[in-house]
Amino acid sequence: MSIAVNLKNIRNQIASLCQQQKRSINKVTLVAVSKRKPVADISEAMKAGQVDFGENYLQEALEKIAYFNRQNLPTSPIWHYIGSIQSNKTRKIAEHFAWVHTVDSFKIAKRLSEQRPTELPPINICLQVNIDDDANKSGLAASRDELLALCQQIQSLPQVKLRGLMCIPMLTDDKTVTATSFAKMQTLLAFLNTHDLALDTLSMGMSDDMDIAIANGATMVRVGSAIFGARD
C-alpha cells in the first residue's frame, strides 16, 4: 500500500478513536517515524500532508534535515528526535530539532538549553519514563516525587520548554498490560499538572499500540512501520 493511503487510514483511525472518547481530534498529533527510510518516502508523506517526522539516529537525521532545508519548501517538516541521547550529541540536536522526546536527566536538559541557538524558540522536550521499570530500557524511574522535582528544576531553563512525558512500554501481546502502562503515564502527567506544570503532551503509542495509547490519553503517537512499511 502507498504511504499516502497508509497515512489516510491512520488519520481516520485516530479520528474515530478520538470520536469514541469524545476527545477533539486536533489533540492528537501524528509523528511519522521515518528512521532508516529514504528522503523520497518523507517527501511522499509530506505531499500527503504529513508535517511531523520522528528520527532516531542523529547522523542519518541531520542528512535528511539538510536535504529538506535545501529544498526551500513552503512548509518545512517539524523534526522530532526520538532516539537515545549521549551528551556529545546534544548540540546538534539543539540546533536542528523542534522536539526531543527522550530526555532522561537534568544534565541533558541543561545542555539542550545552553546549546539551543538563541534565535530559535525554546526546544520542546518530553521526559522519557521507564514506565515498566524494565532493566533493558532507558528512561527515568516512574517515581512521581522524583519526576516532580526534576520537572521543577527543568522549568528554570530558559531555552527548553518542558511539554510532558514519553514512554515505550514493554513488548507484550497482552493488551491489558500495555493499557496499564499507558494508564500509569496518564496518572503521572495528571499528578505533575496538579503542581502547575501545565504539561500538555503524552508521547506514547506506536504502530501496534496506537489505539491503546489514545484510549489512555496520548496526545502524540509515533508511528513508523504502519506508514512507511517494515524496516530492514
CB-nearer residue toward ligand PLP: 10 or 157: 10
**Residue 210 Cβ vs ligand PLP, minimum distance, rounded to whole Å:** 8
CB-nearer residue toward ligand PLP: 33 or 45: 33
Distance separating alpha carbons of residues 213 and 221, to the nearest angstrom? 8
Give the SS3 label for residue 42: helix
CB-nearer residue toward ligand PLP: 159 or 184: 184
Distance separating alpha carbons of residues 6 and 36, to the nearest angstrom? 18
Looking from the CA of 162 toward its CB, the CA atoms found within 13 Å total 28
**Residue 82 Cβ vs ligand PLP, minimum distance, rounded to whole Å:** 4
**Residue 119 Cβ vs ligand PLP, minimum distance, rounded to whole Å:** 29
Rg (the chain; Cα; Å): 17
Distance separating alpha carbons of residues 163 and 61, to the nearest angstrom? 22
Q: Which residue is nearest to ligand PLP (CB)?
A: 224
| DSSP character at residue 100 | E
Distance separating alpha carbons of residues 139 and 148, to the nearest angstrom? 15
CB-nearer residue toward ligand PLP: 90 or 203: 203
**Residue 208 Cβ vs ligand PLP, minimum distance, rounded to whole Å:** 6
CB-nearer residue toward ligand PLP: 199 or 227: 227
CB-nearer residue toward ligand PLP: 84 or 105: 84
**Residue 223 Cβ vs ligand PLP, minimum distance, rounded to whole Å:** 5
| DSSP character at residue 32 | E
Going by C-alpha positions, the residue among 95, 225, 63, 73 that lies closest to residue 159 is 95
List interacting residues with ligand PLP (CB under 6 A): 33, 35, 56, 82, 168, 206-208, 222-226
Q: Are 85 and 109 in contact (CB under 8 A)?
A: no
**Residue 230 Cβ vs ligand PLP, minimum distance, rounded to whole Å:** 8
Going by C-alpha positions, the residue among 30, 105, 90, 32 that lies closest to residue 58 is 90
